[in-house]
A and B are shown apart, each in its own frame.
Chain A
Amino acid sequence: MNSYLKYFLKKFGWYLLTLVVAITLNFFLPRMIKGNPVSVIVSAMSQGMSDVNAQKKLYESYMHQFGLDKPLFQQYLIYFQNILHGDFGVSFGNYPRRVSNILASAIPWTLGLQIPAILIGWLLGNLLGAFTAYKKGVFDKIIFPAALFVNSMPFFALSIIMLYVFGLHLKWFPIGGGYGYQMIPNLSLSFIGSVLQHHFLPFISIVLVAIGGQAIGMRSMSIYELNSDYVLYAKLMGIRDSRVVRYVFRNAVLPQVTGLALSIGTMISGALITEIVFNYPGIGTWLFTAIRTLDFPLISGCTLMITLAVLAANFTIEIIYGLIDPRVKATQMEGQ
Chain B
Amino acid sequence: MIGTLRILIRSPKFIIGLAILAVVLGTVFVYPMVNTADPVEMVASGFDPPSAQYILGADNFGRDTFLELMYGTRTSLYVGLIAGVFATVVGLVLGLAAGYIGGLADNVITLITNMFIVIPSFVILILVSVSINSRSSTVTALIIGLTSWPWTARAVRAQTTSLRNRDHVNIAKISGYSTTKIILFEILPYIASYVVMAFILQIASGILSEAAISMLGLGPYNTVSLGIMMNWALMFEAPAAGAWWAFVPTSLMIAAISFSLFMMNTGMDEIFNPKIRN
Residues of A whose CB lies within 8 Å of any CB of B are 14-15, 17-18, 21-22, 25-26, 29-34, 133, 136, 140, 145, 148-149, 151-154, 156-158, 160-161, 163-164, 168, 216, 220, 223-224, 227-228, 262, 265-266, 268-270, 272-273, 276-277, 287-288, 291-292, 294, 299, 303, 306-307, 310-311, 314
Of B157-165, B168-176, B187-195, B210-218, the segment with at least 4 beta carbons within 8 Å of chain A is: B210-218
**Contact A227 to B275, CB < 8 A, known contacts A153-B251, A164-B239, A314-B118:** yes
Known: A149-B255, A152-B255, A157-B230. A227 touches B126 (CB 8 A): no
Q: Does B276 lie within 8 Å of A224, measured CB to CB?
A: yes
Q: Which of A151, A223, A307 contacts B119 (CB 8 A)?
A: A307
What count of chain B residues pass the 8 Å CB interface test?
51
Kindly identify which residue among B130, B244, B255, B277 contacts A164, using a CB–CB cutoff of 8 Å.
B244
Asked whether any CB of chain A lies closer than 8 Å to the CB of B43, the reply is no
- The answer to whether residues A33 and B133 also contact, given A160-B230, A160-B247, A163-B239 and a CB cut-off of 8 A, is yes
B123 touches A220 (CB 8 A): no
B130 touches A152 (CB 8 A): no
Q: Which listed residue (A149, A223, A310) contacts B276, Cβ 8 A?
A: A223
| B120 touching A310, Cβ below 8 Å | yes
State whether A306 touches B127 (Cβ < 8 A).
no
Q: Known contacts A25-B127, A140-B278, A157-B255; decide if A269 and B118 are in contact (CB<8 Å).
A: no
Contact of B117 among A168, A228, A262, A294 (CB under 8 A): A262
How many residue pairs bridge A and B at CB < 8 Å?
A: 156
Q: Is the CB of B215 within 8 A of A156?
A: yes
Given contacts A21-B115, A149-B259, A161-B248, contact A154 B208 (CB under 8 A): yes
Interface string of B205-234 (1 = CB under 8 A from A): 000100110011110000000000010011
Contact (Cβ within 8 A) A18 B131: no
Interface of A is mostly: helix
Instruction: With CB as the reference atom, state the residue of chain B lying closest to A29.
Output: B127
Contact B133 A291 (CB under 8 A): no
B138 lies within 8 A of chain A by Cβ: no
Q: Judging by beta carbons under 8 Å apart, are B254 and A269 in contact?
A: no
Asked whether A288 and B208 contact (CB < 8 A) given A148-B263, A227-B276, the answer is no
Q: What is B's interface to A at a CB cutoff of 8 Å? A: 16, 114-115, 117-124, 126-128, 130-133, 204, 208, 211-212, 215-218, 230, 233-234, 239-240, 242, 244, 247-248, 250-251, 254-259, 262-263, 266, 269, 275-278
B119 touches A18 (CB 8 A): yes
CA distance A19 to B183 in the complex (A): 35
What 18 new A-B contacts, CB under 8 Å, besides A164-B247, A276-B215?
A: A18-B118, A22-B123, A29-B130, A30-B130, A31-B131, A33-B131, A33-B133, A136-B278, A151-B262, A152-B257, A154-B251, A156-B215, A158-B251, A223-B275, A227-B275, A273-B216, A306-B120, A307-B123
Report, nearest first, the 9 A-B pairs whose CB atoms are least far apart.
Answer: A269-B122, A265-B120, A157-B251, A29-B127, A32-B131, A152-B258, A152-B259, A153-B255, A164-B239
Contacts of A314 in B (CB 8 A): 118
Q: How far is the CA of A257 from the CA of B208 in the complex (A)?
A: 24
> Which residues of the other chain, B, contact A270 by a CB distance below 8 angstroms?
212
A223 to B244: give the CA distance in the assembly, Å: 39
A265, B118: Cβ atoms under 8 Å? yes
28 A-B residue pairings within 8 Å (CB atoms): A15-B118, A26-B123, A33-B131, A149-B255, A152-B204, A152-B257, A152-B259, A153-B251, A154-B254, A154-B255, A157-B211, A157-B250, A161-B247, A223-B277, A228-B275, A262-B117, A265-B118, A265-B120, A266-B122, A268-B120, A273-B215, A273-B216, A277-B234, A291-B218, A294-B130, A306-B122, A307-B119, A307-B123
Q: Report how far A262 CA is from B16 CA in the complex, Å.
A: 29
B234 near A160 with CB under 8 A, answer yes
| Residues of the B chain whose Cβ atoms lie less than 8 Å from the Cβ of A151 | 262
With a cutoff of 8 Å between Cβ atoms, the chain B residues found around residue A310 in the complex are 118-120
- Separation in Å of the A279 CB from the closest CB of chain B? 11
Residues of A within 8 A of B211 (CB): 154, 156-157
Q: Could you tell me if A265 and B122 are in contact, using CB atoms closer than 8 angstroms?
A: yes
With both chains docked as a complex, state the minimum distance between the C-beta of B108 and any C-beta of chain A, in angstroms. Answer: 13
A227–B211 CA distance with the chains assembled, in angstroms: 38
Most chain B Cβ neighbours within 10 Å, of A29, A161, A262, A292? A29
Known pairs A288-B216, A291-B217, A310-B120; A223 contacts B255 (CB<8 A)? no
Say yes or no: B131 contacts A30, CB within 8 Å.
yes
Determine if B133 and A160 form an interchain contact, defined as CB atoms under 8 angstroms apart: no
Are the C-beta atoms of A156 and B230 separated by less than 8 Å? yes
